């Protein structure tokens, strides 16, 4: 709560500061303003990504800032509403002090705002991209692999590692995402030269028992569940009485300590695809990240990893700029950046001109063991 109040305070101060005559686009004395459009309220919303990004910026500011200038973080809640997302992006675009966006986690804003960002020459590095446009837009480069790459990776894990042939995919009908999941499943099957897995799509408010019975009747050897963490836990709990021994492979949003505790008693065969280094590992980068989060009571998760890495990627770029730090120079620096490794991802990250980005496409399978997640396979899976 402390950092949510801090973010709100920063937003209020920035919004009240007059633009004219104070911090124009070429000003090199005021704060470096970084924005984010993020889904902070609504069913399944989270502020973990932006909180983690805020902690990175706080650490940079405590060390003297960049070129002696502090980073001010302006986060706007899109409330999972397309109109609110558009208004939020327009407010950031219209503020010449905003040099880039980083650390956001929105379920819909990429599709709503990608053209607006391109026209304004404003780059966004989400901590968690969700809708399909996030991964194809010229001025948006997410740090996470995203639900579509992770679904393909989960299918590969189910087929090649768990060695199951009859794979069933279950997907909640999320706005703008259903067609992308259908395309992902079909394209994966074509690459793997196998019969396409069945895909059952349902509304989140639908009763689960009829769906579970329908899926169970397909004779599934393994289920890949594409929805967010909360519904994924609900699916596992509802399906266990009907399919007690059928493994379930979930995406990275289910790779949390809460999900582990909720599913502790369901038995073996529960997996999640981690998109970053396991947050329980002992690497120096993970330990530093955990130290920041634990000190501020932010739970370790893939969302907070994504926000942390997105902020780091932007800070790395800002620190390499020799001249004034303003939107045009930051855009140029991002478009010409060399591949960068965070220490938490399998692949290097690079923003490219005309949307030729090098994005995270890998996942490491994790297996639930009691109330703990363990590495299920020693190698990263990529599609």
Q: How many domains does the structure of the chain reveal? A: 2
Is 169 found in the same domain as 299? no
Distance, in Å, from the CA atom of 58 to the CA atom of 199, rounded to the nearest integer, reads: 44
Compute CA distances 122 → 184, 326, 370, whole Å. Answer: 29, 10, 45
pLDDT at res. 176? 84
Asked whether 139 and 123 are in contact (CB, 8 A), the reply is: yes
- pLDDT digit string (tens) for 193-222? 999 999 999 999 999 999 999 999 999 999
Does residue 358 belong to any structural domain of this protein? no
**Residue 68 pLDDT greater than 90, yes or no:** yes
pLDDT at res. 27? 60
Which range has the worst mean pLDDT, 175-179, 259-263, 333-337? 175-179
Does residue 359 belong to any structural domain of this protein? no
pLDDT grade, residue 299 (50/70/90)? Answer: confident
- pLDDT digit string (tens) for 156-171? 999 999 999 999 999 9
Percent of all residues in the chain with a pLDDT value above 90, rounded to a whole number = 81
Is 204 found in the same domain as 89? no
- pLDDT digit string (tens) for 173-182? 987 899 999 9
List Cβ neighbours of 4 (8 Å cut-off, separation of 6 or more): 47, 51
**Residue 305 pLDDT greater than 50, yes or no:** yes
Sheet holding 98-102, edge to edge: 71-77, 32-38, 98-102, 124-125
**Whole-model pTM?**
0.90
Distance, in Å, from the CA atom of 245 to the CA atom of 343, rounded to the nearest integer, reads: 36
Percent of all residues in the chain with a pLDDT value above 70, rounded to a whole number = 93
- Residue identified by tokens 């970084």 is 34
pLDDT at res. 347? 92
Q: Which residues of 203-214 are buried (b: 16+ CB within 10 A; e: fewer)?
A: eeeeeeeebbee
pLDDT at res. 16? 36
Is 294 found in the same domain as 154? no
pLDDT at res. 289? 85
pLDDT grade, residue 2 (50/70/90)? Answer: very low
Write phi, then psi, for 136 (nearest 5 degrees).
-135, -5
Is 184 found in the same domain as 134? no
Is 371 found in the same domain as 334? no
Q: Can you name the residues that pair with 83 across neighbouring β-strands?
A: none
Domain of 112? 2-145+281-351
Is 136 found in the same domain as 82? yes
**Residue 110 pLDDT greater than 80, yes or no:** yes
Is 193 found in the same domain as 140? no
Higher pLDDT, 218 or 289: 218
Does residue 172 belong to any structural domain of this protein? yes
Which range has the worst mean pLDDT, 36-50, 173-187, 274-288? 274-288
DSSP3 helix / strand / coil % (the chain, rounded to 5): 45, 15, 40
pLDDT at res. 7? 41
What is 222-241 written as a DSSP string? EEEE-S-HHHHHHHHHHHTT
Asked whether 48 and 303 are in contact (CB, 8 A), the reply is: yes
Asked whether 65 and 71 are in contact (CB, 8 A), the reply is: yes
Is 373 found in the same domain as 268? yes
- pLDDT digit string (tens) for 118-167? 999 999 999 999 999 999 999 999 999 999 999 999 999 999 999 999 99
Distance, in Å, from the CA atom of 336 to the CA atom of 183, rounded to the nearest integer, reads: 32
pLDDT grade, residue 25 (50/70/90)? Answer: low
Is 135 found in the same domain as 14? yes
Distance, in Å, from the CA atom of 127 to the CA atom of 119, rounded to the nearest integer, reads: 22
Residue ranges of alpha helices (H) inside the chain are 2-16, 48-62, 82-94, 109-120, 146-156, 178-192, 208-216, 229-239, 257-262, 284-295, 302-319, 327-335
pLDDT at res. 290? 82
- pLDDT digit string (tens) for 226-258? 999 999 999 999 999 999 999 999 999 999 999
Instruction: Indicate the burial class of 374 (C-beta count within 10 angstroms; 0-12, 13-18, 19 or more).
Output: exposed
Here the tokens at position 323 are 């001249």
pLDDT at res. 301? 86
Region 280-284: mean pLDDT is 78
- Quick one: which H or E segment has residue 271? strand 270-274
Compute CA distances 195 → 145, 165, 190, whole Å. Answer: 25, 9, 8
Is 31 found in the same domain as 125? yes
CATH code of residue 327: 3.40.50.2300
- Residue identified by tokens 């932006």 is 50
Is 189 found in the same domain as 89? no
- Residue identified by tokens 């899926």 is 215
Distance, in Å, from the CA atom of 231 to the CA atom of 220, rounded to the nearest integer, reads: 20
Is 285 found in the same domain as 270? no
Mean pLDDT, all residues of the chain: 91
Distance, in Å, from the CA atom of 301 to the CA atom of 289, rounded to the nearest integer, reads: 11
Which range has the worst mean pLDDT, 18-22, 36-40, 43-47, 303-307? 18-22
Write phi, then psi, for 340 (nearest 5 degrees).
-125, 135
Compute CA distances 18 → 22, 72, 341, whole Å. Answer: 7, 15, 38
Region 339-350: mean pLDDT is 92
Does residue 357 belong to any structural domain of this protein? no
**Residue 86 pLDDT greater than 70, yes or no:** yes
Asked whether 143 and 309 are in contact (CB, 8 A), the reply is: yes
């Amino acid at each position: 709560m402390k950092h949510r109040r801090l973010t709100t305070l920063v937003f209020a101060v920035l919004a009240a500061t007059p633009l004219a005559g104070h911090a124009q686009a070429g000003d090199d004395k005021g704060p470096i303003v970084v924005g984010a459009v993020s889904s902070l309220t609504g069913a399944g919303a989270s502020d973990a990504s932006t909180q983690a990004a805020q902690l990175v910026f706080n650490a940079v500011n405590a060390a003297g800032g960049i070129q002696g200038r502090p980073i001010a973080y302006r986060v706007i809640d899109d409330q999972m509403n397309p109109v609110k997302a558009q208004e939020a992006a327009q407010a950031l675009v219209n503020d010449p002090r905003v040099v880039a966006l980083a650390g956001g986690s929105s379920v819909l804003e990429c599709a709503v705002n990608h053209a607006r960002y391109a026209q304004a020459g404003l780059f966004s590095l989400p901590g968690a991209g969700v809708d399909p446009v996030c991964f194809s837009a010229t001025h948006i480069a997410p740090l996470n692999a995203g639900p579509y790459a992770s679904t393909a990776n989960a299918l590969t894990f189910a087929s090649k590692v768990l060695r199951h042939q009859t794979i069933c995919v279950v997907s909640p009908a999320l706005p703008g995402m259903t067609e992308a999941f259908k395309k992902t499943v079909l394209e994966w099957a074509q690459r793997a030269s196998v019969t396409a897995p069945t895909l059952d799509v349902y509304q989140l408010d639908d009763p689960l028992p009829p769906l579970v019975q329908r899926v169970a009747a397909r004779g599934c050897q393994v289920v890949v569940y594409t929805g967010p963490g909360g519904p994924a836990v609900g699916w596992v709990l509802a399906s266990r009485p009907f399919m007690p021994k059928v493994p379930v492979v979930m995406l990275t949003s289910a790779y949390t300590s809460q999900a582990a505790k909720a599913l502790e008693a369901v038995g073996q065969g529960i997996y999640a695809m981690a998109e970053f280094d396991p947050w329980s590992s002992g690497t120096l980068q993970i330990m530093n990240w955990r130290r920041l989060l634990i000190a501020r009571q932010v739970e370790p998760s893939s969302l907070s990893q994504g926000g942390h890495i997105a902020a780091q990627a932007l800070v790395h770029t800002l620190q390499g700029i020799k001249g004034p730090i303003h939107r045009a120079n930051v855009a140029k620096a991002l478009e010409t950046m060399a591949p960068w490794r965070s220490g938490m991802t399998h692949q290097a990250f690079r923003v490219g001109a005309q949307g030729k980005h090098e994005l995270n496409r890998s996942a490491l399978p994790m297996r639930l063991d009691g109330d703990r997640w363990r590495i299920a396979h020693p190698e990263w899976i990529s599609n």
